[in-house]
A = this chain, B = another copy of it.
Amino acid sequence: MPMKGNAIIAQSGGPTAVINSSACGVIQTWLAQATGCGTIYAGISGVKGILEGDIIDLAQQPPELIDGLRHTPGAGLYSCRYKVSDADQEQLVSILKKLNIRYFFYNGGNDSMDTAHKTWLAAQSAGWEMRVIGVPKTIDNDLPFTDHCPGFGSAAKYLAASVRETGIDLESVSTKNKVTIMEAMGRDAGWLTAASVLSRRFPDEAPHLIYLPEVPFSIEQFIADVKLVYEQLGYCYVVASEGIRDAKGEYIAAGGQRDAFGHAQLSGAGAVLKDIVEREIGVKARCNTPGTMQRVAMHFASATDAEESYRVGKTAVEYALADKSGVMVTLERSEETPYRCVCGEIALGQVANIVKSVPVEWINDEHNDVKEEFIRYCRPLIQGEVALPMRDGLPDYVRLDFTKGRI
């Protein structure tokens, strides 16, 4: 019999298209399987909300809203970016004790796993028995010890489709703008940037050049790369990570330029590259900077990713009810062809604060493309589409009713 007591779930860090699929998996599985244990609360805005007493009883939300989370992007329970202090940690455990929380689910990325780990240790120090399970999410795909991260596949699919579309745009009307630059999210890891390669069906199709933050970026080499493609095709499509850095580790985005007021230049890496192309090669360029659009494009999410995200949440509850604790749920690729994935686990202490980069062996020698190994890894993650409920021509996303079930 699982330990009696309540559960709590909270979300932290940047949202994804499918982070709420995981939350929905946790909540629905708890409500279905943890009968007799207790209710499940949500901390609104992560640990910050729990510390501030911003907590609701999810059992009092209309079930259709909980179900609606499964197809709603963004952090349905709200998210925070908050570094928990030692004093916070103590207070957090005392709040959790007061609410008789015996199951703590934390849905987030690297920093969030650190928070979950510390909360687990703090509960142990306080002699409070509590299952703590990390529920991973990040479009950056940079959590270690998991084949990939929930949220990545959807962002990858959306970015690859967008590169294919804007690549066709460039190809079909290259009389004006001859170079298109797409700036992809992922400051420290190039997984999402690399995923743009899935757009390319033919050798001459976009993207022609891909720059990841894992290897040093050389402006001279970039100019030579673009010139070469441009001479061959008459146009050139570049995908660059927002976090590309030169050999000294300086961000290309900053560029050291300041405006008249001494403020750092407004532009990100993509706009800097656009300027370099126009100035040094003398052809007009365009930069697309979709920004947060990449991480919440539920309208073109990967069904594989959405299903796995739900499964990771479901598994988190099953692990906790089976007395596991102090672990993050992982995804393990059990078969390559056909692709199959199963859930596993890893100690939170091993995950926390480690960034998994794209292996340098998967990047070509010229540092401007990725290899077949990456494509084989990534392609299964973007398969399938999610059917969304639509209203008035737009996805009918839900909002939980935070006035219901307040404690």
Is A62 part of the binding interface, using a Cβ–Cβ cutoff of 8 Å? no
Once the chains bind, are B175 and A48 in contact (CB under 8 Å)?
Answer: yes
User: Which residues of A231-252 have CB atoms within 8 Å of chain B's CB atoms?
Assistant: none
| Most chain B Cβ neighbours within 10 Å, of A76, A166, A390, A397 | A166
B contact residues around A324 at 8 Å (CB): none
Q: Are B279 and A164 in contact (CB under 8 A)?
A: no
Selected from B15, B170, B299, B302, the residue in CB contact (under 8 A) with A172 is B15
Say whether A394 contacts B164, CB under 8 Å: yes
Residues of B within 8 A of A176 (CB): 81
In the complex, the answer to whether A295 meets B164 with C-beta atoms within 8 Å is no
From 205 to 223 in chain A, residues with beta carbon under 8 angstroms from any chain B beta carbon are: none
Known: A166-B296, A168-B296, A291-B286. A259 touches B263 (CB 8 A): no
Task: Tell me whether B297 and A80 are in contact (CB under 8 A).
Answer: no
Q: Is A187 an interface residue (CB 8 A)?
A: no
A160 sits at the interface (CB 8 A):
yes
Residue A56, interface by CB 8 Å: no
Contact A173 B293 (CB under 8 A): no
Encode contact with B along A77-119: 1 for CB under 8 Å, 0 otherwise: 0111110000000000000000000000000000000000000
With beta carbons under 8 angstroms apart, the residue of B15, B17, B293, B385 that contacts A290 is B293
- On whether the beta carbons of B263 and A265 are closer than 8 Å, the reply is no
Query: How does the 8 Å CB contact mask read for A245-284 relative to B, with 1 for contact and 0 for none?
Result: 0000000000001011101011100011011000100000
Q: Which B residues are CB-close (under 8 A) to A33?
A: none
State in angstroms the CA–CA spacing of A15 and B180 once bound together.
Answer: 15
A40 at the interface (CB under 8 A from B): no
What distance in Å separates the Cβ of A279 from its nearest Cβ neighbour in chain B?
7
Q: Which of B17, B45, B198, B275 contacts A175 (CB 8 A)?
A: B45
Nearest to A272 among chain B residues (CB) is B266
The answer to whether B291 and A288 touch across the interface, beta carbons within 8 angstroms, is yes
A43-70 near B? 1/0 per residue, CB < 8 Å = 0010010000000000000000000000
Known: A15-B169, A266-B271, A288-B292. 14 other contacts (CB 8 A): A48-B175, A72-B168, A73-B169, A74-B168, A74-B173, A76-B172, A165-B397, A169-B292, A198-B393, A266-B275, A289-B290, A299-B300, A379-B392, A382-B392
Q: Which chain A residues have a beta carbon within 8 Å of chain B's beta carbons?
A: 13-15, 17, 45, 48, 72-76, 78-82, 157, 160-162, 164-166, 168-173, 175-176, 180, 198-199, 202, 257, 259-261, 263, 265-267, 271-272, 274-275, 279, 286-293, 295-300, 302, 379, 382-385, 390, 392-395, 397, 399
